Amino acid sequence: MRVLGVEDDPKIASFIGKGLQETGFAVDLAADGEEGLYLGQSEPYDAAIVDVMMPKRDGLRFSE
Protein backbone atom coordinates (compact mmCIF):
# COMPACT_ATOMS: atom_id res chain seq x y z
CA MET A 1 0.00 0.00 0.00
CA ARG A 2 1.33 3.46 -0.91
CA VAL A 3 0.74 6.36 1.51
CA LEU A 4 1.29 10.09 1.13
CA GLY A 5 2.21 11.95 4.31
CA VAL A 6 1.92 15.74 4.34
CA GLU A 7 3.43 17.34 7.44
CA ASP A 8 5.40 20.58 7.88
CA ASP A 9 7.17 19.57 11.10
CA PRO A 10 10.24 17.51 10.10
CA LYS A 11 10.34 15.52 13.35
CA ILE A 12 6.68 14.52 13.11
CA ALA A 13 7.02 13.72 9.40
CA SER A 14 10.02 11.49 10.11
CA PHE A 15 8.20 9.72 12.95
CA ILE A 16 5.12 9.05 10.79
CA GLY A 17 7.20 7.97 7.79
CA LYS A 18 9.38 5.60 9.81
CA GLY A 19 6.42 4.03 11.57
CA LEU A 20 4.55 3.41 8.33
CA GLN A 21 7.63 2.03 6.57
CA GLU A 22 8.36 -0.34 9.45
CA THR A 23 4.88 -1.82 9.06
CA GLY A 24 5.35 -2.37 5.32
CA PHE A 25 3.91 0.74 3.69
CA ALA A 26 5.59 2.63 0.87
CA VAL A 27 5.63 6.26 2.02
CA ASP A 28 6.23 9.59 0.30
CA LEU A 29 6.46 12.70 2.45
CA ALA A 30 5.71 16.32 1.54
CA ALA A 31 6.70 19.30 3.69
CA ASP A 32 3.74 21.56 2.82
CA GLY A 33 0.31 21.52 1.27
CA GLU A 34 1.43 22.68 -2.18
CA GLU A 35 4.00 19.89 -2.46
CA GLY A 36 1.50 17.39 -1.09
CA LEU A 37 -1.15 18.44 -3.59
CA TYR A 38 1.34 18.15 -6.44
CA LEU A 39 2.38 14.64 -5.37
CA GLY A 40 -1.22 13.62 -4.78
CA GLN A 41 -2.20 14.66 -8.29
CA SER A 42 0.84 13.17 -10.02
CA GLU A 43 1.16 9.79 -8.26
CA PRO A 44 -1.37 7.10 -7.28
CA TYR A 45 -1.82 6.77 -3.50
CA ASP A 46 -4.00 4.41 -1.51
CA ALA A 47 -4.22 6.78 1.46
CA ALA A 48 -3.02 10.18 2.67
CA ILE A 49 -2.21 11.46 6.14
CA VAL A 50 -2.49 15.25 6.01
CA ASP A 51 -1.72 17.81 8.70
CA VAL A 52 -4.49 20.39 9.08
CA MET A 53 -2.34 23.43 9.88
CA MET A 54 0.43 23.90 7.29
CA PRO A 55 1.98 26.74 5.31
CA LYS A 56 0.97 27.49 1.70
CA ARG A 57 -2.11 25.21 1.68
CA ASP A 58 -3.66 23.83 4.83
CA GLY A 59 -4.98 20.30 5.17
CA LEU A 60 -8.59 21.46 4.91
CA ARG A 61 -7.92 22.90 1.44
CA PHE A 62 -5.70 20.02 0.37
CA SER A 63 -8.12 18.58 -2.18
CA GLU A 64 -9.12 21.89 -3.80
Q: How many domains does the chain have?
A: 1
Task: List the pLDDT tens digit at each of the 64 positions of the chain.
Answer: 999 999 989 999 999 999 999 999 999 999 988 898 899 899 999 999 988 777 666 656 655 5
DSSP string, 24-38: T-EEEEESSHHHHHH
Q: What backbone phi and psi angles, to 5 degrees, belong to 9?
A: -90, 115
Question: Using CA atoms in the order 22, 28, 31, 32, what is the torsion angle rounded to 10 degrees?
Answer: -130
| Domain span at 31 | 2-61
CATH of the domain at 25: 3.40.50.2300
Q: What is the pTM of this model?
A: 0.84
